[in-house]
Amino acid sequence: MKIAILRETAANEARVAATPETVKKFIGFGAKVSIEKGAGEGSKIPDADYKEAGATISATAAATLKGANVVLSVRRPTATALKGAAKGALVIGQMDPFGNEKDIKALAKAGFDVFSMEFMPRITRAQVMDVLSSQANLAGYQAVIEASVAFDRAFPMMMTAAGTIRPAKAFVMGAGVAGLQAIATAKRLGAIVSATDVRPAAKEQVESLGGKFVAVEDEEFKQAETSGGYAKEMSKEYQAKQAELVATHIAKQDVVITTALIPGRPAPRLITKKMVESMAPGSVIVDLAVERGGNVEGAKPNEIVDHKGVKIIGFENMAGRVASSASQLYAKNLASFLETLVDKEAKTLAVNPEDELVAATQLTRDGAVVHPAFAGEKGAKS
């Protein structure tokens, strides 16, 4: 069994799909590991560290892939980029399939068995494989760090002989994994923190971190969570009421961080141009949903927009801005999942389609798109 790790080619992607620690684990499975030269540079992992862990460093992507039975990636590779890997090779990573169905079909047609880590079920067994949580956690942290740099003022209250500096007021919109980490980070930096979310369970979580919860708590709010723990898309009526409530609140904030993402859909608009203009000059907004269209009117991907003195930060791949930490967690997520696909005694791949983890994450198998979210009449063999 050969496992290949390629150097990521997407712009602004510094993460890598394996670390020396996970390489050692793979070798323990009986696998040979081939890593493309420089794959870990963005995460400050030199080739020498991989080599010391037992991996082979290959000079090119083609050499890395030759005969590979498993390809681990951060972003979805193209079928062309995987040329040389063994037929039926497992390709595991963040596939971002919604809106990219043609690419998934191309991977199926090329004979690859593709697994999308974003679809990992939220069950106890899979917690260590949850890439959405591991990366969102770091994105929430980094959002506050980026905001603190752009804010140009101190976050905590400071009492000095020359006077008192008031603490910054930070408002987090969305109290999922990213939002809760943003709340905790802003609180540690000394800000006065408030937050909102459409899920009732979030109120207790926000308050446990020392934040004030802000929401329209009507009947729709009480039923605004899916069985999987995700936020449901709210009605237009609720969104209008919530917008009215938070508009006044936002006007008093120094920092706002938005985290609202609905899988497979455009991000909901939470902050309008009017709301942005209600904030004082020098205020900062961080939009963590910009890659799905953004929560903030005026946000632009990978830019800091200055709108009438208010900075709107729209960095995509926020977790990738702390690549070393992000890669460490992401690689562990991948390794833990791959371990469930290996027969350790025979030291071979043993994928069980009936396994709930496989059923939830596998997009393609035997030349066809098989995931129920994508396999319809047109999801048969291409």
- Burial (CB < 10 A; 0-12, 13-18, 19+), residue 270, is buried
Catalytic choice (47, 96, 103, 230): 230
Question: Distance between CA 234 and CA 240 in Å, rounded?
Answer: 10
* 230 assigned to active site: yes
* 130 assigned to active site: yes
Tens of pLDDT, residues 27-53: 999 999 999 999 999 999 999 999 999
User: What DSSP string describes 340-366?
Assistant: TTEETTTTEE---TTSHHHHHHB-EET
* 242 assigned to active site: no
At 138 the three-state DSSP class reads: helix
Tens of pLDDT, residues 80-120: 999 999 999 999 999 999 999 999 999 999 999 999 999 99
Beta bridge partners of 93: 116
Tens of pLDDT, residues 49-83: 999 999 999 999 999 999 999 999 999 999 999 99
Please report the pLDDT score of residue 378 as a whole number: 46
Question: Distance between CA 86 and CA 67 in Å, rounded?
Answer: 5
Catalytic choice (127, 208, 223, 235): 127
Catalytic choice (58, 73, 116, 133): 133
Give the residue with greater pLDDT, 237 vs 186.
186
Question: Distance between CA 1 and CA 339 in Å, rounded?
Answer: 13
Tokens 């459409």 belong to residue? 198
Catalytic choice (113, 130, 254, 287): 130
Catalytic choice (49, 96, 122, 269): 122
Tens of pLDDT, residues 197-222: 878 889 999 999 999 999 888 888 87
